[in-house]
Structure 1
């Protein structure tokens, strides 16, 4: 890594745009070391293409983690920094590795209707907001603990639509009481109809579903690097 200060020539094609990050192929030494063969780099590319040179924060709670039907995984937002000077980059999302957080995010997405769309139509009948699952203090609540424990009780934890389909193929009543407990008492006599719709929908091809809309990460302003 070059330790000295290097310069952008005023005749360079990117001199007037002053990109935050760039790469160059060589240094041309005249009165000053000038970069040659320059290409501007979008900050958001660095975590994807140069992840080994980045540091990532712990998963953020805001924006909330999310589930995507394609590629059928749960993600969290992190704050990345680049290089030894820890230059800040835009928020980036990573696949969640921790099983506890993974099932919490999946449970939240499932109840909110982002895994099975039929659940999105019955949000008014829920006894609590799905987002409460993501709060650490909620783990002591019975309905939260029961659902998360059940999702983790199988040899393969239920953390995706595909895993949910596998579980229901083996036991169609898996998660019945745990999800029922999330609905108001007055909705319980309608729950079996909803349960049937959930089973029908989980067996539909994923490509038949509309694309998931996730909350956009908040943009951050950065100074030139």
Structure 2
């Protein structure tokens, strides 16, 4: 049998990480080296003492920053057995259940993903109770009213339905009004938001399903955003698929 390719090796390492998430270990950082016993050691979320890669392992020569292990055996030291090197940026993606995520970052601002039809954002991440800092990760915007507001903004901009782009310049308010703290003072923002929330529409798939049941869904709310002279034209092509 031929040796696995680099791509196959990466897939195997990711599968191992996904299955051994509670056995993740991080190489001790220089600022944490308060005792000589920690030299070349690894910290785990489950133990207070350092663990090590056995000298007979090839990984003892490189000491990867993150590894997962099958078990720990104690001889002269506590050694990890069945060790596999993993990449730090895989952790929040493959082990979200062990991570804490921050509120969505302001930069980059949340965006609409045409491929998934969902509102996406970037969040900082940390691991488990040890709070190891991990890379920021792209993810769906958290559920809640803010996600409806963002979806409404992208809908008005024509990002969700391209047919609405031609009316972007005719809008009576900027789509970003949906995100303002004073948005409730604008009847048109409340009308659109309430209709989205009432049908739990915060992504493209749900919107398309709702239009299958009711082709006039959102028509009256959208018409509040454009001059009355355009209402008849918009009604002719609604829903804007």
Q: TM-score, normalised by structure 2?
A: 0.63
- Out of 107, 124, 148, which is 2:169 matched to? 124
Match status 1:161 vs 2:207: no
Structure-1 residue corresponding to 2:217: 174
1:101 equivalent in alignment to 2:146 = yes
How many Å separate the matches in 2 of 1:50 and 1:15? 25
Length, aligned pairs only: 195
Alignment match of 1:41 (pick from 86, 107, 128): 86
State the superposition RMSD in angstroms: 3.3
| 2:188 pairs with 1:148 | no
Contact 2:157 2:168 in 1 (8 A): yes
Give the Å deviation of 1:170. Answer: 4.4
For residues 10 and 140 of structure 1, do their structure 2 counterparts lie closer, same or farther at Cα, with a shift above 3 Å needed?
farther
Distance apart, 1:122 and its partner CA? 4.0
Relative contact order: is structure 1 or structure 2 higher (C-alpha 8 Å, sep ≥ 6)?
1
Name stretches of at least 5 consecutive residues in structure 2 with no aligned partner: 1-45
Alignment of 1:1-225 (within 5 A): 1-8=46-53, 13-14=58-59, 19-27=64-72, 29=74, 32-68=77-113, 71-92=116-137, 93-94=139-140, 96-98=142-144, 100-153=145-198, 156-183=199-226, 185=227, 189-190=229-230, 192-197=232-237, 199=239, 201=241
Equivalent pair of 1:107/1:148 in contact (CA under 8 Å) = yes
TM-fit CA distance, 1:23: 0.9
Give the C-alpha shift of residue 110 in structure 1: 1.0
- The C-alpha deviation readout for 1:15-50, integer Å capped at 9, x for no partner, is 576544221234465654444433222333323432
Higher helix share: 2
Larger C-alpha radius of gyration, 1 or 2?
Answer: 2
Judged with a 3 Å threshold, the aligned counterparts in structure 2 of structure 1 residues 8 and 66 are, in CA distance, closer, same or farther, namely: same
Q: CA deviation at 1:166?
A: 4.1
TM-score, structure 1 as length reference = 0.66
